[in-house]
Chain A
Amino acid sequence: MNALPPRIAQALDNELLARHALAWLRVDAALKLAGTGGCLEHYGLDALAIGEPAPQQLIFLEGLLPLDESPLLIRSLELPGGHAVDLHCDAHEGETWILLLDVTAERDESRLVQQKAYEMTLLREKEAELNRRLAAANAALLAAQREIEASRAALQQAHDRLDQGLQEASAYVRSILPRPLSEPFDVDWRFLPSARLGGDCFGYHWIDDEHFALYLLDVCGHGIGPSLLSVGVLQTLRGGSLAGADPREPRQVFAALNRIYRMEDHYDLFFTLWYGVYSPGGRRLVYATAGHPPALLVAPGRSGMQRLATGGAPIGTVRDANWRSESIVVPPENRLYLLSDGAYEIARPDGTLLNFDEFAGFVGTLEADGHEGCLDRLLDFVRRQAGPRAPEDDLSIVRFVFRTAQ
């Protein structure tokens, strides 16, 4: 190895010593300070006492001496005065030499770089933590969504089951309604429950060879409860099991029904009823109403229309109420319309209501013009009045044609 020329080596040494403010300390085997030199003032170490314990005067030596490894270098050690030094320790002939080289500038430079690096790392950690929380929030959100979907599916299933039940009940109600007749009367009807199951029901049947009963009832409200009641009443009327009442006498029928179907015993439900009995022999129709809209008796052509109603309270509302019957001789070829209030209490899109007179007027026009398919035209008329919305109430219309032969 080529040795540096002495002058250059000396210049380098001088430069190094000046730049790093070399100071030295010598500690003896008893760990007492044996000698000092160099730039001690630079480090604030100019008041050291020779012959006194070194670790007490130089706290950075605590625990280091005696050296168990030599030489020992401790890099970038910041002294209480603020200077950073590289501390070189070397055991030599029973003594320990300690050199202090100022590296404050290098330390400060390193600190800048390290500071940036740590700040970046902390940002990365923070970002990772935020991402983790975001992922956890997403997972929680997904779990909640799955839960909602499961609930929705369960709800849909429950709804489907309920809907299925309603459909079956609706089908049952339709199945117990009488079939249209063509002999000896021409009878047809249209039935449109508002909520699949309604409170309307109607029927007609022979009481005996001479008496034909026809009736239409409307239980308040719609849905399962009213539907059940309307079916019950229908079966009662059909079965003729009205204790103490002559089914040929409408007012007796009403009184008997009123005893059986008191609203306080039937979930606060009551119903209106139009009930009539037709005797073909004398063409006589005996009828009565209990809070129900009038039936329309329409003569052929434009010869007139009568409204058949007797007033009276709805069945079930007034204990011991009385009803009266009326009778009329039905001219040949007259048509009788039984209807529920849902047929004409129609809210139009402009907010006005179709009323009974308008409905009756349209019925009169249909019959006067002798149109085929009167009931479908009537239903179409009602639907047009309602506009795009479905009718809010049940709608029942039954049409009888009393032919000449009867």
Chain B
Amino acid sequence: MLQRKICMLGAFSVGKTSLVRRFVESAFSDTYLTTVGVKIDKKSVAIGERTLDLILWDIAGEDEVSTIRTSYLRGTAGYLLVADGTRPVTLDVACSLRERVTGLLGELPFVLLLNKCDLVDDWRVPAERVATLRQAEWPVATSSAKTGEGVEQAFRELADRLLDAKAPMSSPPQAP
């Protein structure tokens, strides 16, 4: 049996915990409850003939005063970088995190997830910026923990990348 640790990284209130809950329990709550420290969960996914146990480290988001503890990142095989499509500043945080994680652990499989795509009218992340990231070969996807759109696909995409770091994204979802 394969087992891999992956971290959920991103600014606070981008929906990391909600994404994990949607992925693990197929549930969602509108009530925002901040994460302190880190929360561990597990979800098995079938990749071809194999089953991969994903050990999900849902790490408290970055804010103006606290940065993510590097101890949480030890031994991670990959990470899901989460930003809130309605708050462009969270994409800045995600990009900064990506830089720091790479500096600390080297290149690891990751997927950038622009969450809250159900809030179409409030979407503020410029399409040009997303296009630039894609041009830089960032795997970018959109999701909604609320509706479930793009969630399973994003975790599976990351799982694929864990097993084959060089595999390209099959069909990246488009930003709204």
Does A76 reach chain B (CB closer than 8 Å)? yes
The residue that A59 contacts in the complex, of B36, B40, B60, B63, with Cβ under 8 A, is B40
Does B96 reach chain A (CB closer than 8 Å)? no
Which residue on chain A has the smallest CB distance to residue B86?
A129
Residues of A within 8 A of B4 (CB): 62-63
Does B87 reach chain A (CB closer than 8 Å)? yes
The answer to whether A73 and B36 have CB atoms under 8 Å apart is: no
A-contacting residues, B120-136, CB 8 Å: 124
Which residue on chain A has the smallest CB distance to residue B7?
A63
Of A56, A69, A74, A119, the most chain B CB neighbours within 10 A belong to A74
The answer to whether B34 and A76 have CB atoms under 8 Å apart is: no
At the interface with chain A, which of B66-74, B145-153, B163-171? B66-74
The answer to whether A84 and B37 have CB atoms under 8 Å apart is: yes
Alpha-carbon distance between A362 and B33 when the two chains are bound, in angstroms: 94
Does A55 reach chain B (CB closer than 8 Å)? yes
Alpha-carbon distance between A122 and B13 when the two chains are bound, in angstroms: 8
Alpha-carbon distance between A118 and B11 when the two chains are bound, in angstroms: 11
Alpha-carbon distance between A111 and B60 when the two chains are bound, in angstroms: 10
Does A176 reach chain B (CB closer than 8 Å)? no
Interface residue range, chain A = 20 to 34
Interface membership of chain A positions 93-128, coded 1 if the CB is closer than 8 angstroms to chain B and 0 otherwise: 000000000000001001100110111011001000
The answer to whether A76 and B13 have CB atoms under 8 Å apart is: no
The answer to whether A59 and B1 have CB atoms under 8 Å apart is: no
The residue that A125 contacts in the complex, of B1, B36, B71, B87, with Cβ under 8 A, is B87
Name the distance in Å between B110's Cβ and chain A's nearest Cβ: 15
Which residue on chain A has the smallest CB distance to residue B72?
A74
Of B69, B74, B87, the most chain A CB neighbours within 10 A belong to B74
Residues of A within 8 A of B33 (CB): 111, 115
The residue that B89 contacts in the complex, of A59, A63, A73, A125, with Cβ under 8 A, is A125
A62-B75, A63-B74, A68-B74 are contacts. A74–B38 as well, Cβ < 8 Å? yes
Does A60 reach chain B (CB closer than 8 Å)? yes
The answer to whether A78 and B38 have CB atoms under 8 Å apart is: yes
The answer to whether A62 and B55 have CB atoms under 8 Å apart is: yes
Of B3, B36, B60, the most chain A CB neighbours within 10 A belong to B36
A115-B33, A118-B63 are contacts. A77–B3 as well, Cβ < 8 Å? no
Does A239 reach chain B (CB closer than 8 Å)? no
Name the distance in Å between A16's Cβ and chain B's nearest Cβ: 20
The answer to whether B5 and A63 have CB atoms under 8 Å apart is: yes
The residue that A75 contacts in the complex, of B3, B37, B55, B77, with Cβ under 8 A, is B37
The answer to whether B3 and A55 have CB atoms under 8 Å apart is: yes
The answer to whether A78 and B37 have CB atoms under 8 Å apart is: yes
Residues of A within 8 A of B77 (CB): 63
A-contacting residues, B1-36, CB 8 Å: 1, 3-5, 12-13, 32-34, 36
Residues of A within 8 A of B5 (CB): 62-63
Name the distance in Å between A138's Cβ and chain B's nearest Cβ: 19
Residues of A within 8 A of B76 (CB): 63
Does A64 reach chain B (CB closer than 8 Å)? yes
Alpha-carbon distance between A167 and B97 when the two chains are bound, in angstroms: 74
Q: List 6 A-B contacts (CB under 8 A).
A: A62-B5, A74-B38, A75-B71, A78-B40, A111-B34, A121-B64
The answer to whether A77 and B40 have CB atoms under 8 Å apart is: yes
Which residue on chain A has the smallest CB distance to residue B90?
A125
A64-B75, A118-B63, A122-B13 are contacts. A76–B1 as well, Cβ < 8 Å? no
